[in-house]
Amino acid sequence: AARLLLDSFSVRQICEALASATSDDVEPLVLALEGLTEFDEVRPMFLEADVNAFLQQGATAADPRLRSMVAKLVCRLATHGEATLERLLEANMLNLCEPLLLDEDTGVAEAAARAVCAAAKFPAGRQAVIGGGFAGSSLLESFQSRLPELSDVQRIRVLALFVELGRVADEAFAALESRKALDQVLHSFLTDDLLLKLNAVELMDALGSYERGQDFLARANVPDKLAKDLADPYCDPSVRLCVTRLLGFIAGRSAASAKLLLSSHEAPFPQSIAGMLDSRDVSERLCAINAWATASLQSEGLSFFLRWTPLLQEMVSLVSATQNEVAKAAMDAWAAILQDRPPVTDSIDEARLPVPGEASVSASPSSGRVELLRELRSFLA
């Protein structure tokens, strides 16, 4: 069908027809063009000068169907490999992602964000996205300069893009950090404005979901600031969930942060875990279990929790919880903190724990670690 269509009309002719089409005719023409982008041999036709000029105008057209079509096309071209991406850059089409990301249509904005992240996976794309790109400026620089003038929705989209770009590659993350782009994500959450903080919860969750982001949060001296939210009795439940989850990740990645956050049983972070474990809300209990497990990946965290008898007993009992989700999460948590331990020099029997399934658990050579595992064994026996 695509070949028959192109035998009668070129991509340029279809675009010309679309430019002067009535409202009723726009839909079939847009569908035809979107269908043509599915074919490898047709995509290069969209990068020809005449068609490119139409697409440049379509990115800011009044008709949302045209903007959606352009966003989908740019996304498909950007995600189709390095060779196609280089042609996209030569045609100066990646810059269309700037107005498209700020579009009122969420679908259009999401397609633009995917295109930018896909481009950042390759050297040429990263140059355009994070530095030295088209028109002497990168997308990162352009978005940062526009942040003050954006609406709240647009601002959150741009900050979300920064977070996702950091996930793509070390080079992209380094550029974001050096340009203080990630600091802007933090500032959107570390605010006294509850509405802004709530809007930024997902941003912080996303930033804390990958290792580079977790390391950044630990380096940025953020843990203490986040813990203060947990000390607030009026802290919003969604913020409390987010912060507890983040602090678990941070404590699990940084020994210094674990020591700071777990200074005593009365500290905000461990108190939040203890409180959530007693909650009837499944999401809170799951969050607490996961935060406990991730914080225990550090020796400091494991030492702290193994010597907190009531909490340890609670974590052991959750393995047999009546709620399947909670029981599974507890078993996964124990598996996570007890796996991959280096062998013990003292005695293999001293390190073995009678956990379900006859799983063998080893500790580090330090006698202190062996002693901790002895304590744990007494609870699991």
More confident residue, 302 or 381: 302
More confident residue, 252 or 354: 252
- Is the pLDDT reported for residue 282 higher than 90? yes
Concatenating the DSSP letter of every residue in 89-123 gives HHTT-GGGHHHHHT-SSHHHHHHHHHHHHHHTTSH
Q: What is the mean pLDDT of the chain?
A: 85
pLDDT of residue 142: 93
- Is the pLDDT reported for residue 277 higher than 90? yes
- Is the pLDDT reported for residue 215 higher than 60? yes
Among 183-192, 246-255, 354-363, name the one with the lowest average pLDDT: 354-363
Distance CA 254, CA 65 (A): 48
Distance CA 246, CA 317 (A): 25
Fold of 1-118: Leucine-rich Repeat Variant (1.25.10)
Confidence of residue 375 (pLDDT cuts 50, 70, 90): low
- Is the pLDDT reported for residue 220 higher than 80? no
Confidence of residue 374 (pLDDT cuts 50, 70, 90): low
Global pTM?
Answer: 0.81
Distance (Å) of CA 29 to CA 13, 53, 312: 11, 17, 64
Give percent above pLDDT 70 in the chain: 86
Confidence of residue 378 (pLDDT cuts 50, 70, 90): low
The torsion angles phi and psi of 359, rounded to 5 degrees, stand at -75, 135
Distance CA 213, CA 206 (A): 8
Q: Which residues pair with 359 in a beta bridge?
A: 355
Give percent above pLDDT 90 in the chain: 58
Q: What is the mean pLDDT of residues 60-88?
A: 91
Among 25-39, 50-64, 105-119, 336-350, name the one with the lowest average pLDDT: 336-350
Distance CA 30, CA 69 (A): 7
Confidence of residue 24 (pLDDT cuts 50, 70, 90): confident
Confidence of residue 71 (pLDDT cuts 50, 70, 90): very high
Q: What is the mean pLDDT of residues 20-44?
A: 82
CA angle centred on 364, ends 334 and 296, rounded to 5°: 35
pLDDT of residue 25: 84
pLDDT of residue 126: 92
pLDDT of residue 2: 62
pLDDT, one tens digit per residue, over 342-372 is: 544 443 343 334 343 333 333 343 444 455 5
- Is the pLDDT reported for residue 140 higher than 90? yes
pLDDT of residue 13: 86
Confidence of residue 222 (pLDDT cuts 50, 70, 90): confident
Among 121-135, 160-174, 186-200, 281-295, name the one with the lowest average pLDDT: 121-135
pLDDT of residue 339: 76
Distance CA 86, CA 72 (A): 18
pLDDT of residue 18: 85
- Is the pLDDT reported for residue 281 higher than 80? yes
- Is the pLDDT reported for residue 258 higher than 80? yes
Distance CA 231, CA 213 (A): 24
95-98 long-range CB contacts below 8 Å, 24 or more apart? 95/134, 95/135, 95/139, 96/55, 96/56, 96/59, 96/70, 96/71, 97/139, 98/139, 98/142, 98/143
Among 36-45, 148-157, 258-267, name the one with the lowest average pLDDT: 36-45
List CB contacts of 166: < 8 A, sequence separation 6 or more: 172, 173, 176, 177, 182, 207, 210, 212, 213, 216
- Is the pLDDT reported for residue 380 higher than 60? no
